[in-house]
């Protein structure tokens, strides 16, 4: 009988224990129910959260690049394009390629808009001869970087004007003038835009580096400070034009589609080239060595300022004219390849001599 006896204290303790267990069970059930509800709602909740994060990124993009949209509809359209470009970049970057994509000033443009606005003009394959051929007796240094030798001015920005050819030209002339024993000086693209039309150039509607070299041979070039860039076509200011800061005596075309001849040329000085740049590899480029086959339909003038033949893959160092916030502080590295080269970079090299 003693073993069956239960005191009131024991009863009370048992009741408390049962009550506690019941409450604990209810708590567990509540947690399970909450998780179940959250699980059923998570897809839309996650999408909403992602949209909020993406819109915050878009707001940062607008502030950084001073973007202003006229209507809520335009804002929404540009936001959707921004999201698409960002998603494309994320997928690309997940593939662990040798170059990365990301957000820059072109992230609110579709691929077609970018092509039409920044690379609408086509460069012909140069046919002039004689070409500077590869010299088999001339050794090629393993690396060259004219920036480190003081032959390259700061990165510039052509803005909403198809004047890339003028920036490639001034960069090449600046380098040649410096290597001719003079001080490095930033030369005027606007002078070429306004004043070289009689040489076959069309200002913001396109032009050729070789035609601009002919102008510089005949007229010289004034400084950027003296004849500032406006990113639009203007009347030639002949009084400023006559204030010559640098002049070249001739120019040469490098043997086309010959990477060794181009390496030898760049070992001497910065070299003007045309490329096909209307691809995502250029529009959304943020860094690394581009090894994509981005075509040979030349539409953009740039400047090779060096190379690294020891790297794997080896690459060209290319100065662009889309501002220092684009790419690698305004530069892009393009893989060295034989034949026409990646993006057609081996097809139309040329350089001036001071």
How would DSSP label each residue in 291-344? Answer: -S---S---EEEEEEEEESSSSS-EEEEE-SB-TTSTBTTEEEEE--STT-GGG
Q: If you search the block for the tokens 């998780």, which residue do you land on? A: 35
**Number of structural domains, the chain?**
2
Tokens of 17: 């224990």
**pLDDT for 3:** 34
**pLDDT for 267:** 98
Please list the active-site residues. Answer: 164, 300, 320
Are residues 308 and 208 located together in one domain of the fold?
yes
**pLDDT for 241:** 67
Are residues 48 and 117 located together in one domain of the fold?
no
**pLDDT for 338:** 96
Are residues 54 and 147 located together in one domain of the fold?
no
Q: Is residue 73 part of a domain?
A: no
Average pLDDT over residues 211-227: 96
Are residues 194 and 48 located together in one domain of the fold?
no
The model's confidence at residue 195, banded by pLDDT at 50, 70 and 90, is very high
Average pLDDT over residues 3-31: 38
Q: Is residue 66 part of a domain?
A: no
Residue 184's domain spans which residues? Answer: 100-353
Are residues 189 and 298 located together in one domain of the fold?
yes
Average pLDDT over residues 30-41: 40
Q: Is residue 69 part of a domain?
A: no
Q: What is the CATH number of the domain that holds 222?
A: 3.90.70.10
Q: Is residue 74 part of a domain?
A: no
Which DSSP symbol is given to 4?
A: G
Q: How far is CA 317 from CA 41, 63, 259, in A?
A: 50, 30, 14
**pLDDT for 39:** 39
For 124-160, how does the pLDDT look when each residue is reduced to its tens digit (9 = 90+)? 876 666 899 999 888 899 999 999 999 999 999 999 9
Are residues 31 and 116 located together in one domain of the fold?
no
Q: Is residue 90 part of a domain?
A: no
The model's confidence at residue 118, banded by pLDDT at 50, 70 and 90, is very high
């Amino acid at each position: 009988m003693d073993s069956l006896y239960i005191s009131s204290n024991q009863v009370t303790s048992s009741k408390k224990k049962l009550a506690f267990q019941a409450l604990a069970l209810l708590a567990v059930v509540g947690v399970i129910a909450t998780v179940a509800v959250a699980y059923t709602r998570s897809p839309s909740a996650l999408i909403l959260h992602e949209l909020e994060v993406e819109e915050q990124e878009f707001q940062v993009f607008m502030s950084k690049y001073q973007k202003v949209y006229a209507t809520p509809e335009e804002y929404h359209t540009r936001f959707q394009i921004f999201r698409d470009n960002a998603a494309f970049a994320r997928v690309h970057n997940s593939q662990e390629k040798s170059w990365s994509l990301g957000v820059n000033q072109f992230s609110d443009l579709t691929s077609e808009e970018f092509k039409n606005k920044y690379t609408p003009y086509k460069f012909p394959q140069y046919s002039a001869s004689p070409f500077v051929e590869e010299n088999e007796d001339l050794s090629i240094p393993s690396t060259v970087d004219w920036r480190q030798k003081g032959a390259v001015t700061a990165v510039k920005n052509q803005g909403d004007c198809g004047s890339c050819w003028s920036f490639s030209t001034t960069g090449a002339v600046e380098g040649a003038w410096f290597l001719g024993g003079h001080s490095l000086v930033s030369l005027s693209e606007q002078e070429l835009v306004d004043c070289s039309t009689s040489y076959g150039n069309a200002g913001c509607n396109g032009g050729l580096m070789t035609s601009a070299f002919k102008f510089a041979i005949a007229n010289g070039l004034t400084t950027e400070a003296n004849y500032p860039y406006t990113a639009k076509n203007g009347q030639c200011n002949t009084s400023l034009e006559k204030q010559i800061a640098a002049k070249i005596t001739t120019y040469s075309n490098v043997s086309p589609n010959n990477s060794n001849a181009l390496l030898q040329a760049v070992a001497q000085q910065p070299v003007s080239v045309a490329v096909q740049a209307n691809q995502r590899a250029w529009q959304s480029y943020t860094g690394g060595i581009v090894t994509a086959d981005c075509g040979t339909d030349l539409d953009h003038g740039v400047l090779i300022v060096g190379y690294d033949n020891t790297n794997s893959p080896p690459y060209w160092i290319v100065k662009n004219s889309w501002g220092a916030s684009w790419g690698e502080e305004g530069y892009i590295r393009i893989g060295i390849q034989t034949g026409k080269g990646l993006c057609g970079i081996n097809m139309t090299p040329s350089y001036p001599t001071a």
